[in-house]
Amino acid sequence: MEPEISLSCKDLVKTYPGVIAMDHINFELRKGEVHALLGENGAGKSTLIKSIAGAHQCDSGTITIDGKEFHSLTPLQAKEMGVEVVYQEFNQMPSLSVAENIYLTELRGKRIVADQREFERKAAELFKEMNLDLNPKVKVASLTNGYKQMVEIAKAISKPTTKILILDEPTAPLTVDQVDILFRLIHNLKEKGISMIFISHRMPEIFEICDRVTVMRDGKSIQTLNVKDTNREELVSLMVGRKLNENFPPRETEIGDLVLEAKDLCGNGVENISFQIHAGEILGFAGLVGTGRTETLRLVYGADKMDSGEVYMYGKKLHIRSPKQALAHGIALVPEDRKLQGVFLHMSIKANTNISILPKISKGIFVQAHKETENADQYIKSLRIRTPGMMQLAGNLSGGNQQKVALAKALATEAKVLILDEPTRGIDVGAKMEIYQLMRELSAQGMAIIMISSEMDELLGMSDRIVVMSEGRKAGELSKEEFNQERILNMASGE
């Protein structure tokens, strides 16, 4: 029996000035399947799903949903056909409650007070069904990114009319437990005959929950495969168009002298954190999401206020009260939330890569234009930022390429201590390897690198030493000879 097709895209083309985001894409979604979209940063995945949601119009091609053909699809039509999307970037009203955010579309023109209780009751029911421990009354602004994402997911599945559910990198901000909840949900939805498109840069997830996978490259749909008939190696080479060496680049230089020492840092939800880092060393920060890793390093960077504690650099005590002062001392940080803190989306790539180093490339009051250009050019090349040019607005780049701009912006400062918070989140496998290589080169030049990461592979592959955090405290520290996955997990869970 032929499988039932719930969605079919034929020859979709979408261009932006200087960019072909979709170059004759063909894609078919079967009823009740989980279909992965896989491809490098900028391959066109988000563009494809935005087309299916009617969020933007294609230049040409057709989209057929449930047998109905569309040449141009509006958001309303897509919704009426049962298409729901959880986007890569949040789209919420932070000042409203969780319940209000979920049922927001129903708010219009109703008696808000009366409905609110109803929303809360419905949301509570939904969360119970999802096995999610969340109070519908709290403001979305107070939630961690993981919970914000769960709210988006709840919203998408709350509609009884949903037939096609699209998830664009849903797991990127989730904790391990939340990923479990999501995967169980996906199973249940599948049983109900809902068709799903799932985007992720984490290969094991594709093998865990997807039935088929379509690989995209350079705006083209390369191939669709049954997940059980393929493997990681094949998918990676289809994605990047070449064989990829996935080994972590080894350390080739010695670790140098002490650069930075933090003593008994308190505040921002963490207590008595001490650590040291040396020139040319990569220090990993492990621990579950929300155990104070980001909070600790924001204290060092002056982004949040310390209650007590001391930071020394080359033996001298620092008094850092703002990120600006931290930068002046040679401490740079790339935040995990690029959209809020990492990049200026309304500014060009060129402006972003130069903004933190303007004094350095100026003569008198004039910025030396050629230095700006050289600097931007260098990072676009070395990080392989996918863009038609350096004047492109950062906001027009794909998610992963925005992350690369955030990285470039910090790297340009030529910091002595570079703090990277989840540096490869949302980054494709090829670009990940490039970032690891770059980290090795920088550390070989004597830079001290602190890397917060939730990816065990990169922690084990890149760190010289690992600090393990648990519930706002330092649970321990492990050297390269001592650390392995099991020890880190045990320590992180407070054993």
Ligand X SMILES: Nc1ncnc2c1ncn2[C@@H]1O[C@H](COP(=O)(O)OP(=O)(O)OP(=O)(O)O)[C@@H](O)[C@H]1O
Contacting positions for ligand X (CB under 6 A): 16, 19, 21, 39, 41-47, 88, 386, 396-401
| Binds Mg ion by CB under 5 A, chosen from 46, 294, 387, 403 | 46
Q: How far is the CB of 45 from ligand X (least distance, A)?
A: 3
Which residues have a Cβ under 8 Å from the Cβ of 180 and sit 6 or more positions away? none
Q: Which CB sits closer to Mg ion, 120 or 168?
A: 168
The site partner of 472 among ligand X, Mg ion, none (C-beta below 5 to 8 Å per kind) is: none
The answer to whether 169 and 200 have CB atoms below 8 angstroms apart is yes
Output the six-digit token pair for 101: 């955010």
Query: 439: phi > 0 → left, psi -120 to 50 → alpha, else beta; which?
Result: alpha
Q: How far is the CB of 400 from Mg ion (least distance, A)?
A: 7
Binding of Mg ion by 413 (CB under 5 A) = no
How far apart are alpha carbons 296 and 471 in whole angstroms? 12
Q: How far is the CB of 38 from ligand X (least distance, A)?
A: 9
Q: Which residue number has the CB closest to Mg ion? A: 46
Q: How far is the CB of 94 from ligand X (least distance, A)?
A: 23
Q: Which CB sits closer to Mg ion, 100 or 168?
A: 168
Q: Which CB sits closer to ligand X, 31 or 339?
A: 339
The interface region with Mg ion, picked from 86-94, 115-123, 286-294, 434-442 by CB under 5 A, is: 86-94
The site partner of 396 among ligand X, Mg ion, none (C-beta below 5 to 8 Å per kind) is: ligand X
How far apart are alpha carbons 201 and 105 in whole angstroms? 31
Q: How far is the CB of 11 from ligand X (least distance, A)?
A: 17
CA-based angle 321:470:271, to the nearest 5? 35
Report phi then psi at 273, rounded to 5.
-95, 125
Q: How far is the CB of 365 from ligand X (least distance, A)?
A: 33
Q: How far is CA 93 from CA 141, 357, 383, in A?
A: 8, 34, 34
The answer to whether 289 and 454 have CB atoms below 8 angstroms apart is yes
Q: How far is the CB of 105 from Mg ion (least distance, A)?
A: 24
Closest CA to 203 of 377, 8, 432, 373: 432
How far apart are alpha carbons 41 and 387 in whole angstroms? 11
Q: How far is the CB of 39 from ligand X (least distance, A)?
A: 5
Q: Which CB sits closer to ligand X, 309 or 399?
A: 399
Q: How far is the CB of 86 from ligand X (least distance, A)?
A: 14
Q: Which CB sits closer to ligand X, 47 or 221?
A: 47
Output the six-digit token pair for 285: 């920060």
How far apart are alpha carbons 404 and 434 in whole angstroms? 11
The site partner of 39 among Mg ion, ligand X, none (C-beta below 5 to 8 Å per kind) is: ligand X
Q: Which CB sits closer to ligand X, 283 or 397?
A: 397
Binding of Mg ion by 399 (CB under 5 A) = yes
How far apart are alpha carbons 436 and 185 in whole angstroms? 34
Q: How far is CA 204 from CA 179, 185, 197, 207, 226, in A?
A: 12, 18, 16, 5, 15
Report phi then psi at 318, rounded to 5.
-105, 150
Q: Which CB sits closer to Mg ion, 169 or 458?
A: 169
Q: Which CB sits closer to ligand X, 221 or 375?
A: 221
Q: How far is the CB of 329 from ligand X (least distance, A)?
A: 33
Q: Which CB sits closer to ligand X, 403 or 453?
A: 403
The interface region with Mg ion, picked from 85-93, 232-240, 413-421, 485-493 by CB under 5 A, is: 85-93
The site partner of 309 among ligand X, Mg ion, none (C-beta below 5 to 8 Å per kind) is: none
As a dihedral over the C-alpha atoms of residue 423, residue 88, residue 98, residue 142, rounded to 10 degrees, the angle is: 20
How far apart are alpha carbons 450 and 335 in whole angstroms? 12
DSSP-assigned letters across all residues of 118-134 = HHHHHHHHHHHHHT---
The site partner of 400 among Mg ion, ligand X, none (C-beta below 5 to 8 Å per kind) is: ligand X
Q: Which CB sits closer to ligand X, 169 or 464?
A: 169
Q: How far is the CB of 15 from ligand X (least distance, A)?
A: 9
How far apart are alpha carbons 443 and 340 in whole angstroms? 28
The site partner of 101 among ligand X, Mg ion, none (C-beta below 5 to 8 Å per kind) is: none
**Binding string, residues 206-235; x marks residues near Mg ion by CB under 5 A:** ------------------------------
Report phi then psi at 277, rounded to 5.
-140, 140
The site partner of 353 among ligand X, Mg ion, none (C-beta below 5 to 8 Å per kind) is: none
Q: Which CB sits closer to ligand X, 16 or 253?
A: 16
60-65/5-16 β-pairing: antiparallel
Q: Where along the sequence are the contacts to Mg ion (CB under 5 A)? A: 46, 88, 399
